[in-house]
C-alpha cells in the first residue's frame, strides 16, 4: 500500500455537494482532497443530471420558437433538428464546466484522486484505482458526498436502447418515435417536455393522483392541463403492473384508477421513479454512522454519529435530492469542520425548480400543508395572462400563487408555474428568509415590464388588490 497522504479534509465524491465543499474548504485554508471514482469531476448533476438536461431543454425551447415563429411575425419555412449537433452542444457545455471545476480545484489548492473511496478506520480512507491498486488517504475530517443512483423497477434492467434511466436517455443516437415515462416527478416531466418537443410521442404514467406530486395541487393540475394541451397524455393514479421488453421496444401493463387495465406500447421506456442513496460499499458498516432506509442521519452541522465524518447531498436522510441543497450542506460541513460558525440549513426555505414547458418553481408550504399545520391562510394569485411581459413573450400560461398567514401576512410559501419562473423563485426565497410579508413584497417596486411583476401582483392579491385583474 502506498504511503498515506495527510489532509485536513477529505471528500468522497465530486458532485455539486463534494466539489463546492472542496472549494470552500480551500478558501478556508484547509488542506483538502477529493476522491472521485469517475474520470471527470462534477458527478450526476453535471454529467447525467441538471446540466445536460437543461441544455437539451433549452434546445427544445429554441426549436419551439422556430415552430411558433409565425406568431411573432417571422416566416421560417425550412428548419430541422440536427440531433447529433444538439448532443454535441450538450457535451461541449458539460466538458467545459467539468474543466472549470478542475481549474477551480487548482486555484484553491484542492487535490483530487481518481478512485473508489471507502472509510477504513478513524480518519482513514482507502482508495482503489482503476487498476485495483489501493492507497490510503488520512484526514482530520472526512465528508461523504457519494450521491444517488436512479431506481429501477423490479425485473427490469436499463439497456441503453429500450429501457432507460436519466443516464442512458441522454445518449440516444436519435429521437425515438415513442416513449412511455413511468413517474411524473422532476425527471419524468422534464424528459417528457424535451422529447415531446423533438417529435417523440410521449405518454406519462404516475401512480399518485398528480404529476409533480410534491408541488401545490393547483400547480400540478395546471402542469397536467398544459401537457395535455401540448399533446402529452398524463395518466395519474396509474398502477404499473408489469413492464416487458419486446422486439419492437416495450409494453407496460397498467391498472387505472377506475380498475380498468390497459397495455401501452412504445419504442422506449424511461423509468423515473426516484433515486436510491449510494451508501453501500463505502465502509459505513465499520463506523457508528446511523442510517435511515439507506440514507445517512446527520445533525444540523451535517455531522454523522461517527466522530470526524460528515455527510452531505443526496445521501442525507430527510434532505431533498437537489444539487443546490447538497452545495449548501457542503458549505455548512466544511465551515464547521474548519472550526467556524456554520449556519444550519433551513429545510423549509429550499427552492424547487422543474424545467418543463411551462416551468414550475416553489418554496415553502403548499396551501394544503399550511392549512394542515394550523395556519389561517390567505392566498394571493396572479395569472401570467394579465402580465404585460408574458404577453410580449407569447407565454401567457400559468400563475404565481402566494400562501401567507392571515394575521401578519407572513409568507409561508410561493408557488409558480409559467415562463422563466425558475429564475424568479429566488426573490421569494429571500423574502421568506427575511421573514417578509405580502405587504413587504407588494411595496417592493418591481421593474416594468417584467415577469416579476406577477409576484408583486400576487402579493397584492392576498388583499384582493391586484391592479391588472
Ligand atoms: P421523484 O421521487 O421526484 O419522482 C418519482 C415519481 O415516480 C413520483 O411521482 C412517484 O409517485 C412516481 N412513481 C414511483 N413508482 C412508480 C410506479 N411504479 N408507477 C408510476 N409512478 C411511480 O424522482 P425522480 O423524478 O426520478 O427524481 C429523482 C430526484 O432527483 C428527485 O429527488 C428530484 O427532485 C431530483 N431531480 C430534481 C430535478 C430538478 O430540480 N429540476 C430534476 C431531476 C431530478
Q: Separation of 81 CA from ligand 1 center, angstroms?
A: 28
Q: Determine the pLDDT at residue 2.
A: 58
Whether pLDDT at 1 is above 80: no
A 10 A CB-CB count for 11 gives: 34
Among positive and negative, which fits the CA dihedral 349, 350, 354, 357? positive
Q: Determine the pLDDT at residue 154.
A: 86
CATH superfamily of 163-273: FAD/NAD(P)-binding domain (3.50.50.60)
Fold entry, domain 358-461: Enolase-like; domain 1 (3.30.390)
Q: Determine the pLDDT at residue 237.
A: 97
Q: Is the Cβ–Cβ distance between 361 and 426 less than 8 Å?
A: no
Residue whose C-alpha is closest to residue 188's, from 214, 159, 217, 156? 214
Among 169, 274, 350, 351, which is best to mutate for testing ligand 1, by the most ligand atoms less than 8 A from CB? 274
| Mean pLDDT within 341-356 | 97
Q: Determine the pLDDT at residue 156.
A: 87
Q: Is the Cβ–Cβ distance between 21 and 76 less than 8 Å?
A: no
| Mean pLDDT within 405-432 | 98
The grid cell for 239 is 398502477
Q: Tell me how far apart the alpha carbons of residues 309 and 142 are, in angstroms, rounded to a whole number.
A: 5
CATH 3.40.50.720 applies to domain 5-149+276-347 = no
CA-nearest residue, atom 18 of ligand 1 = 240
Whether pLDDT at 424 is above 90: yes
The whole-chain average pLDDT of the chain stands at 97
Whether pLDDT at 4 is above 90: no
Q: Where exactly are the structural domains of the chain?
A: 5-149+276-347, 163-273, 358-461
CA-nearest residue, atom 4 of ligand 1 = 185
Q: Determine the pLDDT at residue 128.
A: 97
Among 170, 273, 323, which is best to mutate for testing ligand 1, by the most ligand atoms less than 8 A from CB? 273
Grade residue 160 by pLDDT with cuts at 50, 70 and 90: confident
Q: Determine the pLDDT at residue 227.
A: 98
Nearest atom (ligand 1) to Cα of 213: 9
Q: Tell me how far apart the alpha carbons of residues 15 and 464 are, in angstroms, rounded to a whole number.
A: 45
What percent of the chain is predicted at pLDDT more than 90? Answer: 97
| Mean pLDDT within 235-242 | 95
**pLDDT tens profile 56-111:** 999 999 999 999 999 999 999 899 999 999 999 999 999 999 999 999 999 999 99
Nearest atom (ligand 1) to Cα of 238: 20
Which residues are identified as catalytic? 448
| Mean pLDDT within 219-230 | 98
A 10 A CB-CB count for 223 gives: 27
Helix (H, G, I), strand (E, B) or coil at 148: strand
Nearest atom (ligand 1) to Cα of 205: 20
- If you count DSSP H runs as helices and E runs as strands, how many of each does the chain have, helices first? 12, 24
Whether pLDDT at 262 is above 90: yes
| Mean pLDDT within 249-278 | 96
Q: Separation of 185 CA from ligand 1 center, angstroms?
A: 4
Among positive and negative, which fits the CA dihedral 171, 175, 178, 181? positive
Nearest atom (ligand 1) to Cα of 188: 25
Whether pLDDT at 3 is above 90: no
Whether pLDDT at 5 is above 80: no
| Mean pLDDT within 123-128 | 97
Asked whether this chain's domains 5-149+276-347 and 358-461 adopt the same fold, the reply is no
Whether pLDDT at 362 is above 80: yes
> Which residues have C-beta atoms less than 6 Å from ligand 1?
182-188, 190, 205-208, 213, 240, 272-275, 320-322, 353-355
Amino acid at each position: 500500500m502506498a504511503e498515506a497522504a495527510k489532509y485536513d479534509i477529505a471528500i468522497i465524491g465530486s458532485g455539486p455537494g463534494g466539489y463546492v465543499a472542496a472549494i470552500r474548504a480551500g478558501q478556508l485554508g484547509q488542506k483538502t482532497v477529493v476522491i472521485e471514482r469517475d474520470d471527470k469531476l462534477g458527478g450526476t448533476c453535471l454529467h447525467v443530471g441538471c446540466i445536460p438536461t437543461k441544455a437539451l431543454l433549452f434546445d427544445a425551447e429554441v426549436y419551439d420558437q422556430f415552430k411558433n415563429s409565425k406568431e411573432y411575425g417571422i416566416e421560417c419555412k425550412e428548419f430541422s433538428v440536427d440531433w447529433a449537433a444538439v448532443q454535441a452542444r450538450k457535451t461541449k457545455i458539460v466538458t467545459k464546466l467539468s474543466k472549470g471545476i478542475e481549474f477551480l480545484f487548482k486555484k484553491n489548492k484542492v487535490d483530487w484522486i481518481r478512485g473508489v473511496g471507502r472509510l477504513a478506520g478513524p480518519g482513514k480512507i482507502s482508495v482503489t484505482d482503476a487498476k485495483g491498486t489501493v492507497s490510503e488517504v488520512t484526514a482530520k475530517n472526512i465528508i461523504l458526498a457519494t450521491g444517488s443512483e436512479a431506481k429501477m423497477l423490479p425485473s427490469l434492467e436499463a439497456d441503453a436502447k429500450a429501457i432507460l434511466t436519466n443516464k442512458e436517455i441522454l445518449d440516444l443516437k436519435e429521437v425515438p418515435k415513442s416513449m412511455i415515462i413511468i413517474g411524473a416527478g422532476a425527471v419524468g416531466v422534464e424528459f417528457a417536455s424535451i422529447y415531446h418537443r423533438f417529435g417523440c410521442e410521449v405518454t406519462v404514467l404516475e401512480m399518485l393522483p398528480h404529476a409533480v406530486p410534491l408541488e401545490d395541487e393547483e400547480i400540478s393540475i395546471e402542469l397536467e392541463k398544459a401537457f395535455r394541451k401540448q399533446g402529452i397524455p398524463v395518466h395519474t393514479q396509474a398502477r404499473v403492473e408489469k413492464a416487458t421488453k419486446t422486439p419492437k421496444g416495450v409494453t407496460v401493463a397498467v391498472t387505472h384508477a377506475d380498475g380498468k387495465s390497459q397495455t401501452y406500447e412504445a419504442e422506449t421506456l424511461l423509468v423515473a421513479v426516484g433515486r436510491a442513496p449510494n451508501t453501500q460499499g463505502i465502509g459505513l458498516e465499520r463506523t457508528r454512522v446511523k442510517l435511515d432506509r439507506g440514507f445517512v442521519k446527520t445533525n444540523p452541522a451535517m455531522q454523522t454519529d461517527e466522530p470526524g465524518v460528515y455527510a452531505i447531498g443526496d445521501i442525507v436522510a430527510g434532505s431533498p435530492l437537489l444539487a443546490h441543497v447538497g452545495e449548501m450542506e457542503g458549505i455548512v460541513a466544511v465551515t464547521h469542520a474548519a472550526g467556524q460558525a456554520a449556519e444550519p440549513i433551513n429545510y423549509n426555505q429550499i427552492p424547487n425548480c422543474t424545467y418543463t414547458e411551462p416551468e414550475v418553481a416553489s418554496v415553502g408550504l403548499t396551501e394544503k400543508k399550511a392549512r394542515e399545520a394550523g395556519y389561517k391562510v390567505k392566498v394571493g394569485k396572479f395569472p401570467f395572462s394579465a402580465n404585460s411581459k408574458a404577453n410580449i413573450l407569447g407565454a401567457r400560461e400559468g400563475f404565481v400563487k402566494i400562501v401567507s398567514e392571515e394575521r401578519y401576512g407572513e409568507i409561508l410559501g410561493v408557488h409558480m408555474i409559467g415562463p422563466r419562473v425558475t429564475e424568479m423563485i429566488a426573490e421569494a426565497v429571500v423574502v421568506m428568509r427575511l421573514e417578509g410579508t405580502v405587504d413587504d413584497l407588494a411595496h417592493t417596486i418591481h421593474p416594468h415590464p417584467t415577469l416579476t411583476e406577477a409576484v408583486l401582483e400576487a402579493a397584492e392579491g392576498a388583499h384582493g388588490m391586484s391592479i391588472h385583474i
